[in-house]
C-alpha cells in the first residue's frame, strides 16, 4: 500500500540521508492537489510526502465547517484510497502548527491516531509538525517539542520541529526578516540535549539558514546552507555520532536556486517543503484556459457559453498537469527522481 507504514516511512528518511537526496513535501488542500502530487511523484519515480497545513485542513473541511481536524482526516482518507493505484511510497504529514492551534489541530489528531494504534492500525498521519518558530524562548519551544515527541513515539510517528525563525507569512504566522533567521550552534546543541538523537523518539529538525515563506526575489534574503553543516558538525563532535546526526528539513524553499538546494541536501536535508511554487503551477494553466476560452467560460450577452470549456474538469486537468510537472522538477532538484525501489 503506497501510504507508508511507520516502518517504511522511517526507512524513507534513512535512505534519503544515506543517498544524499531529499523528498519534496507538497502542501495539499483538495482532491485535485492530491491527485496532482501523486502523479508528479510517480512520473518522477520518487517517493514523496503529502502535507496538510492548518489553513489547508480548515479549507478541506468545507467553507461553512472550517474544522481543521475534520479537514485533515478527510484529506488523509482520500489520499489513502487513491494512492493505492500508484507504484510509490507516500508519507502523510501535518505542516506548520503554532502554539495557539495545537489544541485544535495536532493534539486531537494525536489522540485519534493513538486510538487507531491501540486497535492495531497505522496512525492517521506518519508525522506531525510543531512550529515553535514564533516563540522567542527556545526553551519553551523544546519543552513543548519534548511533550509531543513522547506522544508521536508512542503512536509510531515522527515529529518535526523548527528551531530558529522563518521569515515571511504562512497561514497567519508572520516572521520578520532579521538575524533570527539563522539558527545558532548553541540552539542546535540544546536541541540534541533535550530531545536526544533518536533514543527518545524520531524527529526531523528545521534549522533555519535564512529561510522565508512565500514569494521573494533573489537577493532579498541571504540563504546560508553552510550553517547546516556547522550545526551538524558541532553536535556530531559533542556526541561522537556520524557527521550528520540530524534529519533536516528545508522550509521556505520556493524560489531557491538549484545550488542552494543542492548544498542543503549535501548537509543533511531529507525533506523540503514546496508550496508557493506548486500553487502557482496549479493556477497558471487555469488562467491560460480562461483567457483563451473567454467567450466559452462566460455566458456573454445572453449567449450560452461552451459547457466543455467551463466544465471544471476541463481546466482542472490542466491545473493538475501543471502542478504535477512542477513536482517532477522538484524531485529532480532534490535528487529523489528515480530513487523509488519496489
pLDDT in tens, 25-78: 999 999 999 999 999 999 999 999 999 999 999 999 999 999 999 999 999 999
SS (H, E, C) the chain: CCECCHHHHHHHHHHHHHHCCCEEEEECCCHHHHHHHHHHHHHHCCCEEEEECHHHHHHHCCCCCCCHHHHHHHHHHHHHHHHHHCCCCEEEEECCCCHHHCCCCHHHHHHHHHHHHHCCCCCCCCEEEECCCCCCCHHHHHHHHHHHHHHHHHCCCEEEEEECCCEEEECCEEECCCHHHECCHHHHHHHHHHHCCCCCCCEEEEECECCECCCCCCCCCCCCCHHHHHHHHHHHHHHCCCCCCCCEEECCCCCCCHHHHHHHHHCCEEEEEECHHHHHHHHHHHHHHHHHCHHHHCCHHHCCCCHHHHCHHHHHHHHHHHHHHHHHHHHHHCCCCCCCCC
Instruction: Tell me whether residue 192 is in a domain.
Output: yes
What range defines the domain where residue 239 resides? 6-275+317-334
| 169: pLDDT strictly greater than 70 | no
Separation CA 296–CA 254 (nearest Å)? 34
Instruction: Tell me whether residue 220 is in a domain.
Output: yes
State the pLDDT at residue 174. 46
Instruction: Tell me whether residue 33 is in a domain.
Output: yes
Instruction: Tell me whether residue 261 is in a domain.
Output: yes
Average pLDDT over residues 14-32: 98
| 102: pLDDT strictly greater than 60 | yes
| 218: pLDDT strictly greater than 70 | no
Confidence of residue 164 (pLDDT cuts 50, 70, 90): confident
> Parallel, antiparallel, or unpaired for β 269-274 and 23-27?
parallel
Query: 130-144, 169-183, 288-302 — which is least confidently predicted?
Result: 169-183
Instruction: Tell me whether residue 158 is in a domain.
Output: yes
In tens, the pLDDT along 144-161 reads: 999 999 999 999 999 999
State the pLDDT at residue 136. 85
Instruction: Tell me whether residue 294 is in a domain.
Output: no
Mean pLDDT over all residues of the chain?
A: 92
**Torsion sign (Cα): 23, 229, 220, 252:** positive
Question: Which grid cell is 297?
Answer: 467560460
- CATH number, domain containing residue 197: 3.20.20.70
Could you list the residues known to form a binding site for dihydroxyacetone phosphate, using ranges: 214, 252-254, 273-276
Catalytic residue among 47, 95, 122, 263: 95
Q: What percent of the chain has pLDDT over 90?
A: 84
Confidence of residue 138 (pLDDT cuts 50, 70, 90): very high
Average pLDDT over residues 100-114: 98
Q: Of 122, 25, 130, 29, whose CA–CA distance to 74 is shortest? A: 29
Could you list the residues known to form a binding site, using ranges: 96, 131, 162, 213-214, 251-254, 273-276
State the pLDDT at residue 341. 81
| 309: pLDDT strictly greater than 60 | yes
Instruction: Tell me whether residue 303 is in a domain.
Output: no
State the pLDDT at residue 132. 94
Instruction: Tell me whether residue 304 is in a domain.
Output: no
State the pLDDT at residue 168. 47
Instruction: Report the predicted TM-score, pTM, of the whole model to 2 decimal places.
Output: 0.94
Is position 95 annotated as part of the catalytic site? Answer: yes
Question: Which grid cell is 143?
Answer: 519543552
Separation CA 52–CA 78 (nearest Å)? 13
φ and ψ at residue 49, rounded to 5 degrees: -130, 130
Average pLDDT over residues 222-237: 94
Q: Of 254, 251, 250, 249, whose CA–CA distance to 276 is shortest? A: 254
Confidence of residue 256 (pLDDT cuts 50, 70, 90): confident
Please give the tally of structural domains in the chain: 1
Amino acid at each position: 500500500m503506497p501510504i507508508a507504514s511507520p516502518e517504511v516511512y522511517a526507512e524513507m528518511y534513512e535512505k534519503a540521508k544515506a543517498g544524499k537526496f531529499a523528498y519534496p513535501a507538497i502542501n495539499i488542500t483538495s482532491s485535485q492537489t492530491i491527485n496532482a502530487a501523486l502523479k508528479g511523484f510517480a512520473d518522477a519515480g520518487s517517493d514523496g510526502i503529502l502535507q496538510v497545513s492548518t489553513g489547508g485542513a480548515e479549507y478541506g473541511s468545507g467553507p461553512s465547517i472550517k474544522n481543521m481536524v475534520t479537514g485533515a482526516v478527510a484529506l488523509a482518507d482520500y489520499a489513502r484510497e487513491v494512492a493505492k493505484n500508484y507504484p510509490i511510497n507516500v508519507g502523510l504529514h501535518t505542516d506548520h502548527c503554532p502554539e495557539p492551534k495545537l489544541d485544535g489541530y495536532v493534539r486531537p489528531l494525536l489522540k485519534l491516531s493513538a486510538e487507531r494504534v491501540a486497535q492495531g492500525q497505522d496512525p492517521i498521519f506518519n508525522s506531525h509538525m510543531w512550529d515553535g518558530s514564533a516563540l522567542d524562548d527556545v526553551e519553551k519551544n523544546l519543552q513543548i517539542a519534548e511533550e509531543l515527541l513522547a506522544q508521536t513515539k508512542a503512536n509510531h510517528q515522527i515529529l518535526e520541529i523548527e528551531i530558529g525563525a522563518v521569515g515571511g507569512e504562512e497561514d497567519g504566522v508572520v516572521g520578520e526578516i532579521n538575524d533570527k533567521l539563522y539558527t545558532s550552534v548553541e540552539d542546535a546543541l540544546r536541541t540534541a540535549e533535550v530531545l536526544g538523537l533518536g533514543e527518545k523518539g524520531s524527529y526531523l529538525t528545521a534549522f533555519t539558514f535564512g529561510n522565508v515563506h512565500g514569494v521573494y526575489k533573489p537577493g532579498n534574503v541571504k540563504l546560508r546552507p553552510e550553517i547546516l553543516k556547522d550545526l551538524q558538525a558541532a553536535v556530531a563532535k559533542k556526541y561522537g555520532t556520524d557527521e550528520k546526526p540530524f534529519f533536516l528539513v528545508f522550509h521556505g524553499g520556493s524560489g531557491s536556486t538549484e545550488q542552494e538546494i543542492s548544498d542543503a541536501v549535501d548537509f543533511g536535508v531529507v525533506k523540503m517543503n514546496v508550496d508557493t511554487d506548486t500553487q502557482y503551477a496549479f493556477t497558471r494553466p487555469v488562467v491560460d484556459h480562461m483567457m483563451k476560452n473567454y467567450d466559452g467560460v462566460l455566458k456573454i450577452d445572453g449567449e450560452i457559453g461552451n459547457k466543455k470549456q467551463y466544465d471544471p474538469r476541463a481546466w482542472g486537468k490542466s491545473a493538475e498537469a501543471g502542478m504535477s510537472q512542477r513536482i517532477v522538477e522538484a524531485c529532480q532538484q532534490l535528487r529523489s527522481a528515480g530513487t523509488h525501489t519496489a
